[in-house]
Amino acid sequence: MRKSTLRLITLAAGFALLIGTVPTANAAKILMGTSQPGGATFEIGTAMGKVITDNSGGKIQVETSVTGGSTANVRILQKKDKKQALRIGMATAPAVSWGQTGRKPFKKPQDVLALGALYPLTTVYTTFKTTGIKKWSDLTGKRFVVGGRGGSIYIVTQLALKHSGVKAKKEFFNNNQNSAAIKDQRVDAGFFFLNANVPAPVYMDLARTLSGKLHFFGPDEATIKKLAVNEAGIVRDVVAAGSIPGYNKDVVSWGQMWTLMTNSKMSNANAYGLVKALYDNHKQITKYHPTGKYVTKKTGLRGMKKLKIHPGAARYWKESGMM
């Protein structure tokens, strides 16, 4: 998506929040944590927030905020703040699982409960064709951006390196830093992700700018299998040829589902109302962001088999015949 189009969608979503259904004075004000700039998560979150607000009968008002990403959002849910007691966040399914079980990067179990699955995120890796890096094992000794701290990509990528025994020189950059480092060839390779098979804005720009000059790859099959077996919500995924501008080959790698989460402090009524407002009206999301077409009731529990779900959300999914 071109930057100008992205800005228009963001402005449209923000304007719509002003003219949509007006929340009542007693509406529950909920802050939604999204992710790092350049990945489209904030824009998608803003669109979902509007749909929830407009379809809650005036009972819920959602505002969105840029954050560090999945694991950062799990930590945000632990904060005590009387002025902003109710929070929800977007996080990948593995990050929610790590929080619930107290696995690294968390030192102990966190108060985090899933509400529903959103849309798929697929991670691949890229390098200039001139570097000689063709496959995962070629990263040995190379300067490699594994992801930005605060998300989940940097953790899964490090797990992939560990499972495969590949010893790369790891760098931790956010989306914009990673894209710039790849473009300027200050690193040998870096991460690249797609939302529902569409490159995130910063990576769409990178692929278009360097069309025909980049090579894309994923971990080897054995490593992907280990990730899928050991991590909740990780699946083998294939980016179809042509999905990335200038690259006409399939790329086999790993994927995960974005999920919506909260903590046990949210009442059953608010959790139920929030989930019902979003999934009963999911088609409205596409008015503000095209990725919204992948947020559906049918896929609302995808990748969440091993996650603990908020009782209020569970009530909705049971009524929908999905639990």
Residue 13 reports pLDDT greater than 60 = no
Condensed to tens digits (0 to 9), the pLDDT of residues 14-46 reads 444 444 566 777 889 999 999 988 888 999 999
Residue 11 reports pLDDT greater than 60 = no
3-120+258-319: in CATH 3.40.190.10: yes
pLDDT band at 71 (very low <50, low <70, confident <90, very high): very high
Mean pLDDT of 109-113: 98
**Whole-number percent of the chain with pLDDT over 70:** 92
**Dihedral sign for Cα atoms in the order 65, 70, 72, 74:** positive
Cα 173–184–164 angle (5° rounding)?
A: 50
What is the H or E stretch that residue 10 is in?
A: helix 3-19
Q: What is the pTM of this model?
A: 0.83
pLDDT band at 7 (very low <50, low <70, confident <90, very high): very low
Do 3-120+258-319 and 121-256 show the same overall fold? Answer: yes
User: How many of the other CB atoms lie within 10 Å of CB of 39?
Assistant: 25
Give the C-alpha separation, 52 to 37, whole Å. Answer: 22
Give the CA dihedral 288, 293, 299, 303, nearest 10 degrees: -70
- Exposed, middle or buried: residue 299 (CB in 10 Å: 0-12, 13-18, 19+)? middle
pLDDT band at 84 (very low <50, low <70, confident <90, very high): low
30: amino acid identity, one letter: I
What is the H or E stretch that residue 29 is in?
A: strand 28-33
Report the candidate in 36, 110, 147 with the shortest Cα–Cα distance to residue 307: 110
Predicted pLDDT of residue 262: 97
Give the C-alpha separation, 152 to 91, whole Å. Answer: 8
Helices (H) and strands (E) in the chain, counts: 10, 11
Q: Domain 121-256 is of which CATH architecture?
A: 3-Layer(aba) Sandwich (3.40)
**Average pLDDT score over the chain:** 91
CA 24 to chain centre: 31
Indicate the domain borders of the chain: 3-120+258-319, 121-256
